[in-house]
Every structure is written in structure tokens, then in C-alpha cells.
Amino acid sequence: MIRSPEKSGSLPELSTNKTPPTYISERNKRKRPEEILNVEFDSFKQEMREMLEGFMKLSHSQMEKITPTLKDIQSTNSKIEESINFLAEQNDVLKKKIEQLESEKKKDREYITLLEEKVEDLQRNSKKSSIELKNVPKQPNESKETLSSMLLNLSKSLGSDLTTPDILDIYRVRYKDNNGPIIAELSSTFKKSHLLKAAKTYNARNRNNKLNGSHLGIPALTNTPIYLSEHLTPKAARLYYLARELTRNKSYKYCWTAYGRVYVRQDDNSPVVVINNESQVTNLINKI
């Protein structure tokens, strides 16, 4: 048998004192623009604060890593500075030494120049009565007697009074081609000057028949020109060679030697200039 559900005896009473619920929602109040700006600014400040804090932490971390390197750099710079100071001191010391050496070098050069002048004077004095005969071919079985005979024949051709006792010594300088100059030492500077003057006068008067081998008593050498001059020191010979450049370019009219010294003269009205060194010749050439 199926029981039917029980029926309630009555419906519950509805309270008549309760207010029925409302279904109308309240409207949210709109914020003013100033409030919105304040909120956004606060948010921006918060973001910036967090950003700065992160940056500071990162910077601090990087500084901790960089600090040892900076200390090493400072230490290295300190050592470099010490090295520079040391080098500067050494440079000052070396500079003083160089100045001292330059001063000593200058004194040594002056002393060497003085010694060279003394040596030049001694050499010039030893050659003051010597003559030099150039471009004379060497003869077969040549001897001092042969050379003396040549010089006496030359003296006779020039009208000079040279005799055998006037020839103190005579010899030929050895050259590769065996035709080196003949050097003769005479008894006096007077004999030397007289013979040189006679040779110069002869060449001036006989421009078409200047001194040649025939005047030495060797007819086969008629077409061989010979040159007679005083015997110069190596320095004087070099100066004479350079000084003749002044006459070769026709800037100076005269260039000659006398008693072992070299002289030049620009024209007949100019003063005579004694050539003492090579730089003097260079200066005269540059002035032209």
C-alpha cells in the first residue's frame, strides 16, 4: 500500500511588517580629475622609487666589483708616476752630462784645431824651399842624378842660376801609374821663389809654347806639357783645388799660392783674401 504525502495543515503566515527588498542598485560616485591625477602621480612616484632602488642596488653591486679594479689602477698610476719622476730625474742628469760633454767636445775641437794648425805650420815650414814638378813621364832607369839633370836643364831654359849644390834632395812620389810628381828641395826659399817666378814669366810670354818636356832636356817630350809649382801640404793642396773653383766660374780673377798659403782676389781693386779652411771657400762661393 502506498502512503500518500502528508499535507501541511496550513501555509505559513507572511509577515506583514517586513519591508520588501529593493532591486535598484546604487550608482558609483565619479571621481574628480584632481583625484585621478593624484592617484596617477602616486603610482608614478612608487614606480620611480622602485626603479631608483633597483638602480642603486645594481650600482652598489657594480661598484663592489669595480672597486678592486680601481685600486689596482690607482696602484698602477702611482707606480707610473714614480717611474716618470725617476725618468725625469735621470733625464735631468743625462741632460747635464750631455751639456758637459758638449762643452768638453767644443774645447777638444778647439784644441784639435790648434794642434792641426801647429802641424800645418810645421809641414809648411818643412816644405818652404821645395818645388813640385808635375806631368813628367818616368824615364827608364830613372835615378836622383837623372831627376837632378832634368831640373838643371829646366832652370837653364828659364834663365835661372840653379846649380847642383842648390838641390838638397830630389825624388819622385810613387803613384799607381808611375808618373807621380817630382819633389825637389832647394837650398833656400830665395832659389825656389826665383825659379817659380821665372817659370811663370816664361809661360806668360810664350803662350803658344809653354813649358814642356823638351825644357827638361828630353826632346821626345816636346808635346808633353809640364807644370812647376811650390810643394804644398795636403791641406793647402786641397784648399788650392777648391779655391780655383772661384776662378773657374769667373767670380774671382786671381787665385795663387805663396809660401805654402792659398790666396784669392776678386779683381784688381779688391783686397787679397787668405784661404784658411774649406768652409771659407764655401762661404765665398755662396756669396756669389
Residue pLDDT, tens place only, 83-93: 999 999 999 99
* Beta-sheet strands, E only, within the chain: 130-134, 167-172, 182-186, 227-230, 254-258, 261-265, 273-275
Geometric angle at alpha carbon 228, from 222 and 230, rounded to 5°: 170
128 pLDDT more than 80 = yes
Please give the grid coordinates belonging to residue 132: 813640385
9 pLDDT more than 60 = no
Region 242-246: mean pLDDT is 89
Residue of higher predicted confidence among 270 and 10: 270
Confidence of residue 64 (pLDDT cuts 50, 70, 90): confident
- Packing angle, helices 144-158 and 189-205, rounded to 10: 60
Please give the grid coordinates belonging to residue 221: 817630350
pLDDT of residue 10: 44
DSSP 186-224: ES-HHHHHHHHHHHHHHHHH-TTS-SBGGGGT-GGGTT-
Pairing of strands 227-230, 273-275: unpaired
28 pLDDT more than 60 = no
4 pLDDT more than 60 = no
Report the chain's mean pLDDT, rounded to a whole number.
85
Count CB-CB contacts under 10 A for residue 256. 16
Burial 48-75 (b: 16+ CB within 10 A, else e): eeeeeeeeeeeeeeeeeeeeeeeeeeee
Please give the grid coordinates belonging to residue 242: 777648391
116 pLDDT more than 50 = yes
pTM above 0.85, yes or no: no
226 pLDDT more than 60 = yes
